Structure 1
Amino acid sequence: MTKPITPDVSIGRVSRMDAINNKSVNEASLRQAEIKLGNFKRALDRFGTEDFGVCLKCKQAIPVGRILIRP
């Protein structure tokens, strides 16, 4: 019969730290994906309007290649 690993055993602490780190990485990835989705939705809302393809900051036309890569 094996003895259970208690919280003060280093392997348990390392596993918990890994889990916390993985959770932080996953949450950051989710936030970035949500930002990208929001940006895409805003661009999609402008599709077909006179604002589509125009930079919101400088009001210059955005090259088609740039729009295809990052709407």
Structure 2
Amino acid sequence: MTESGSRASSRRHDPKNATQAEAVRHELADVLAYLLRLADVLQVDLATALPDKTDLNARRYPIDRSRGHSDRYDAYGN
């Protein structure tokens, strides 16, 4: 199963089921390890990239206009 397929099936897990919770924990660790390796290879500083992207999203999706909607950012007239 691919990482994305594993992640999709993980969304249906029952957090009270210890076996499923452990499987999700392991899957998330796999995804994190892959992300960290990819960032290293591409020389992306995740400590900078995350706040930069968070700020961009805040400008693109103003809470007062976008909460509860799934429109593209250009629908909010930014």
TM-score tier by shorter-chain length is 0.3 to 0.5
Higher helix share: 2
TM-score, normalised via structure 2 length: 0.36
Structure index of larger Rg: 1
